[in-house]
Amino acid sequence: MENKIAFFIDEIFKTVIIFFISLVFYRAIMLSFTLCLILSSITSLLLGILFYFLKTKKDAKKQLKASQLKQIEQIKEQFSYASHNELNKFFKELFKAEQNYKKELVIDDKKTIILPLFEKDLLDINDLKKIYRENKNRHIQKVLIICNNYTDDCIALIKNFKIIEYKLININDLYVEYLLPQKNFPNFNVERLPKEKFSFQKFKKYAFNRPKAKTYFFCGLILLFSSYFVPLRIYYLIFASIMFISALLCFVLNTKKVNA
């Protein structure tokens, strides 16, 4: 559910930007406004299809069948409601790991710690900073975090971590890279619980995380500049303002500093 919403947000945003850029271009060559609207719509549609095709081709190796996607959802549900001991037992076998004195899973001669974290549907930046604080003074080389999914700002944050390497693996990557090749799937027989509804907090993590601030700001500049070349300038200024406000919200809603 969350992945689909994030995908649609990005695709809609991309299409709108292509439409406005196309409209400016067609107006610059002195076409009528009605014709510009039609051509811009066609251009947005064609480029949207082209970009989608290129992205699909690029990710072809990771494309999964409907039956596999269904299996991933079932695995995700099992992981989310399995006990800590069940998770440790499963991942101990999957990674050929052992337990240290803290009952943690370790591999690579105890230099890598495996952390299966499935309590939350979405790992956020605060969860990651907590893990960092707990492990920053330890004599380890790598922390492998396995979770249902994570926010974009988590990827940006781990690049700032020094000495200890952090790697994030979501449920899809886990399935493709580890479960499917080994034909090793969990079977915890967990009780099926109601699906969690998509909330504003989750929407905020996708639409207003810090990495998107630059995108919003850049698009705002494009719309502001474009407003000088097309009629109905007020609408461009309104959308430009929305982009600038969105960029500001990316910082306001993520005010905590990263102590890496």
How far apart CA 182 and CA 177 sit, in angstroms, is 9
pLDDT tens profile 213-227:
888 888 888 888 888
pLDDT band at residue 257 using 50, 70 and 90 as cut-offs: very low
Digit-coded pLDDT (tens) for 29-72: 767 888 888 888 898 888 888 877 777 666 655 566 778 888 88
User: Measured at the alpha carbon of residue 251, what is the angle toward residues 246 and 254, in degrees to the nearest 5?
Assistant: 120
CA 52 to chain centre: 17
> What local confidence, expressed as pLDDT, does residue 223 receive?
83
Q: In this structure, what DSSP letter does residue 60 have?
A: G
Tens digits of residue pLDDT in 32-43: 888 888 888 898
Question: Are 40 and 53 within 8 A, CB to CB?
Answer: no
Structural domains in the chain, CATH included, are 1-63 (no CATH), 66-182 (3.40.1340)
Kindly report, residue by residue over 184-194, the tens digit of the pLDDT: 888 876 555 45
Quick count: other Cβ atoms within 10 Å of Cβ 68?
14
Cα–Cα dist 20/228, whole Å: 13
Is the pTM higher than 0.75?
no
3-state secondary structure 62-74: HCCCHHHHHHHHH
Predicted confidence (pLDDT) per residue in 156-193, tens digit = 889 888 889 999 999 999 999 999 999 888 887 655 54
Write out pLDDT tens, residues 93-143.
999 999 998 889 999 999 999 999 998 888 988 999 999 999 988 999 999
How many other CB atoms sit within 10 Å of the CB of residue 46? 12
**What are the contacts of 161-164 at 24+ separation with CB within 8 A?**
161/132, 161/260, 162/260, 163/136, 164/135, 164/136, 164/138, 164/140
| In the predicted structure, residue 153 carries a pLDDT above the cut 80 | yes
Neighbour tally for 179: CB within 10 Å = 18
